[in-house]
């Protein structure tokens, strides 16, 4: 993606980075050559961002042209909101106190240049603030009151206010920031797009193992897409990419959801998108949604304290109780008698106002149908763990025992299973989903729809092999191109 850096006077900034063009604000605003350039990322380093100033119009017209400015007009205005600054300060409070504890004066100014700070001590705090505000040059003001530090304000730094002594550091920070886009070993013809793959190297049961992640990277390379594994510490770098692929377990109340929201705000293609995460990670929502649209599910009761005594009469025993945000079989229990049911419900309702109860349907395996863009991608049989009623057996020592995964060609999977999976996924979105089903006679029952489904080397890819990875990367390409077309002026 071409990069523009816009200054009032470019001669004051001797910056030379491959792939980065330095232009004057006057030229950017008036030269027709810049009006319809596609896929531009613009960094606005003008001398002022005040209302209707030249710097203000650079960001405003960049948005109108479908370019992606930093800072954009919304960010410029957001920094004036004391409520927003307070909310971010609360989120970062522990880091703020730890970082500024050695500071002796009661007032402190932190300058952040492309995510870097002059003092190494302040680096992590600077990166986190840079990640929250899409602005290349930031100034954060802190005050100490009653032995605690408070974030008073965050503002963009106009280029005219950068001290002369800081200029070499700013140029170095900018060069380092943009050089990240030059991937090691990159061919003379750069990739069309860049894909960030968010993963957690420490996760015990990730949705893709290291071998599968390597296959995604190789597939992206074959299709002309640059890709890079990132972690939760790369939040401030997200805007460097054109798309985000989340390959760590998703929850609404953790960083994966924030990454997805930020990527959407940046105009990036995202799997899993925030709406899919919110829908799929709550089993109460799924039960209501699928029932409303008459997608076959096991007999289900949404349990609250006022109807908890009715569950056994309505579903019989044994039955299955599910914590709304359960994952990897955690928070899912089978109860065989009334006392166990009451005890389990009491514990679950202490954590959530609503719990899902379903009839128990015993099978030797579950079907999993993977879909993307509403189309079936793979089918697998997930066999139950040995001597257990689920595909994952949680051991007391924290280890997990899994049943066998058996990939099946789509044409050999039961048509009722595939058709029901497609119906279920259609009501979630067009992302990458794994629909779990039980087949009993001629009836296929949807157990759940998973965002972020497992794709492990030698398991889900056993039939399609490299083609599975290429189909997912091809979907990203289509999504990026649709977003670019929609961003064209007049579209």
294 within some domain: no
The closest alpha carbon to 256, from 197, 323, 204, 195, belongs to: 197
For the chain, the straight-line distance linking the first and the last C-alpha, in angstroms and rounded, comes to 20
293 within some domain: no
385 within some domain: yes
Domain boundary among 14, 46, 73: 73
Same domain, 165 and 94: yes
Same domain, 168 and 235: no
Same domain, 86 and 171: yes
Cα 95 to Cα 9, 36, 89, 121: the distances in Å are 37, 42, 9, 11
440 within some domain: yes
Cα 10 to Cα 5, 15, 165: the distances in Å are 9, 9, 18
- Residue 365, helix vs strand vs coil: strand
- Residue 117, helix vs strand vs coil: coil
230 within some domain: yes
The parent domain of residue 400 ranges over 365-451
Q: Report the CATH number that the domain containing residue 209 is assigned in CATH.
A: 3.40.50.2300
Same domain, 320 and 335: yes
347 within some domain: yes
Predicted TM-score (pTM) of the model is 0.73
132 within some domain: yes
pLDDT in tens, the chain (491 residues): 578 999 998 887 776 776 788 999 999 999 988 887 877 889 999 988 888 889 999 999 998 888 888 888 888 888 888 888 888 888 899 999 999 999 999 999 999 999 899 999 999 999 889 888 878 899 999 999 999 999 999 998 888 888 889 988 998 898 888 776 554 444 446 788 999 999 999 998 899 999 999 999 999 999 999 999 999 988 878 888 999 999 999 998 889 999 999 899 888 999 999 999 999 999 999 999 999 999 999 999 999 999 999 999 999 999 999 998 876 556 789 999 999 999 999 999 998 999 999 999 999 999 999 999 999 999 999 999 888 888 877 766 666 778 899 999 999 999 999 999 999 999 999 999 999 999 999 999 999 999 999 999 999 999 999 999 999 999 999 999 998 877 543 33
Q: Report the CATH number that the domain containing residue 446 is assigned in CATH.
A: 3.30.470.20
Q: What is the pLDDT of residues 352-390, one digit of tens each?
A: 999 999 999 999 999 999 999 999 999 999 999 888 888
Q: Report the CATH number that the domain containing residue 352 is assigned in CATH.
A: 3.30.1490.20
Count Cα atoms within 13 angstroms, Cβ side, for 129: 33
Same domain, 43 and 137: no
Same domain, 82 and 43: no
Same domain, 89 and 173: yes
Q: What are the φ/ψ torsions at residue 443 (nearest 5 degrees)?
A: -105, 135
202 within some domain: yes
Separation of alpha carbons 450 and 448, rounded Å: 6
Same domain, 175 and 234: no
Same domain, 355 and 387: no
Same domain, 65 and 81: no
Domain boundary among 312, 329, 359: 359
The closest alpha carbon to 484, from 174, 243, 128, 143, belongs to: 243
Domain boundary among 315, 340, 359: 359
Q: Helix crossing, 123-132 with 93-100: angle to 10°?
A: 150
Residue 228: other Cβ atoms inside 10 A: 17
Same domain, 324 and 257: no
Q: Report the CATH number that the domain containing residue 109 is assigned in CATH.
A: 3.30.470
The number of domains in the chain is 5
Same domain, 85 and 173: yes
């Amino acid at each position: 993606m071409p990069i523009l850096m816009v200054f009032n006077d470019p001669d004051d900034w001797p910056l030379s980075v491959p792939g980065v063009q330095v232009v004057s604000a006057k030229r950017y605003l008036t030269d027709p050559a810049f009006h319809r350039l596609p896929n531009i990322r613009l960094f606005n380093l003008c001398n002022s961002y005040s209302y209707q100033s030249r710097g203000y119009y650079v960001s405003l017209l960049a948005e109108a042209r479908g370019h992606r400015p930093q800072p954009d007009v919304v960010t410029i205005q957001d920094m004036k909101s004391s409520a927003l600054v307070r909310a971010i300060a609360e989120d970062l409070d522990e880091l703020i106190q730890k970082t500024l504890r050695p500071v002796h004066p009661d007032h402190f100014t932190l300058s952040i240049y492309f995510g870097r700070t002059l003092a190494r001590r302040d680096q992590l705090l600077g990166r986190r603030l840079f990640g929250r505000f899409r602005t290349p040059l930031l100034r954060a003001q802190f005050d100490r009151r009653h032995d605690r530090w408070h974030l008073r304000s965050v503002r963009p730094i106009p280029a005219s206010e950068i001290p002369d002594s800081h200029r070499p550091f700013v140029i170095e920070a900018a060069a380092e920031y943009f050089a990240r886009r030059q991937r090691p070993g990159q061919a003379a013809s750069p990739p069309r797009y860049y894909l960030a793959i968010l993963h957690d190297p420490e996760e015990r049961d990730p949705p893709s193992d290291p071998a599968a992640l390597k296959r995604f990277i190789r597939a992206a390379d074959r299709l002309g897409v640059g890709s890079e594994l990132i972690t939760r510490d790369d939040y401030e770098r997200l805007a460097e990419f054109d798309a985000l692929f989340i390959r760590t377990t998703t929850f609404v109340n953790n960083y994966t959801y924030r990454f997805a929201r930020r990527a959407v705000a940046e105009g990036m293609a995202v799997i899993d998108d925030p709406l899919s995460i919110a829908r799929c990670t709550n089993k109460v929502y799924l039960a209501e949604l699928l029932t409303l649209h008459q997608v076959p599910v096991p007999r289900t009761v949404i349990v609250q304290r006022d109807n908890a005594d009715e569950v056994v009469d309505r579903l019989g025993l044994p039955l299955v109780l599910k914590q709304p945000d359960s994952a990897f079989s955690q928070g899912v229990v089978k109860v065989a008698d009334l006392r166990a049911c009451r005890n389990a419900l009491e514990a679950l309702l202490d954590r959530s106002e609503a719990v899902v109860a379903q009839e128990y349907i015993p099978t030797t395996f579950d079907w999993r149908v993977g879909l993307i863009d509403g189309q079936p991608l793979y089918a697998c049989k997930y066999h139950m763990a040995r001597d257990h009623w689920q595909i994952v057996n949680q051991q007391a020592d924290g280890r997990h025992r899994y049943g066998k995964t058996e990939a099946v060609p789509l044409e050999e999977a039961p048509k009722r299973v595939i058709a029901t999976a497609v119906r279920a996924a259609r009501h979630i979105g067009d992302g990458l989903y794994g629909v779990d089903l039980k087949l009993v006679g001629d009836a296929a029952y949807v157990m759940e729809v998973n965002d972020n489904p497992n794709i492990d080397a030698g398991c889900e890819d056993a039939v399609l092999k490299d083609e599975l990875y290429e189909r997912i990367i091809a979907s990203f390409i289509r999504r990026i191109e649709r977003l670019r077309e929609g961003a064209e002026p007049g579209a």
